[in-house]
Amino acid sequence: MYYSAQHSSPVGTLTLASDGSSLVGLWLQGQKYFGGTVAQAMAESPRLPVFNAAKEWLDKYFSGQKPAIAELPLAPYGSEFRRAVWEILCSIPYGEVITYGEIAKEMAARMHRAHMSAQAVGGAVGHNPISIIIPCHRVVGSNGSLTGYAGGIEKKIRLLEHEGADLSKLVLPAKETAL
């Protein structure tokens, strides 16, 4: 059985999901692939210890602290490839960005391949089921484009600004409006 809880944040209402002991999902309101990794109905249970820990983590994060991802029991559901990409996301330092291509190079090395598709990495990043905590908002295109955030470009920008990331070399995708 899966459980859910809501949490208010500066980027809107967040929905948290748990298997009862670990966090399996965190989605922004209106996010693409919302709840996609939880195939069953979720029962509202906001007082689970894992939700209390996640809410405390989020409150610290949004107050300007830098809580460690390892403070939370995370169990994102996905293929071995996706989980490996999400593991790389967890290593991106607070306030910094990395490109899909850089992640692809690291994945190629881990898989003992000469090359890895940045598009395959983009698919894994885009399907990250635990937004914010697994920081997929820190991934940008090779040209500095702020493309590819399932929660929306505006929220990606807000999260990066919150972390103090240098946005001066980053650009909006061609179909978005100016910063």
Active site residues: 136
Point out which residues pair with 18 in neighbouring strands: 3, 23
| Residue 102 DSSP class | H
Rounded to whole angstroms, the Cα distance separating 73 from 46 reads: 16
- CB-based burial label for 90 (10 Å; 0-12, 13-18, 19+): middle
For residues 105 and 118, is the Cβ–Cβ distance under 8 A?
A: no
Rounded to whole angstroms, the Cα distance separating 129 from 165 reads: 23
For residues 67 and 57, is the Cβ–Cβ distance under 8 A?
A: yes
Rounded to whole angstroms, the Cα distance separating 22 from 8 reads: 20
* 3-class secondary structure, 64: coil
Point out which residues pair with 139 in neighbouring strands: 98
The CA R_g of the chain, rounded to the nearest whole Å, is: 16
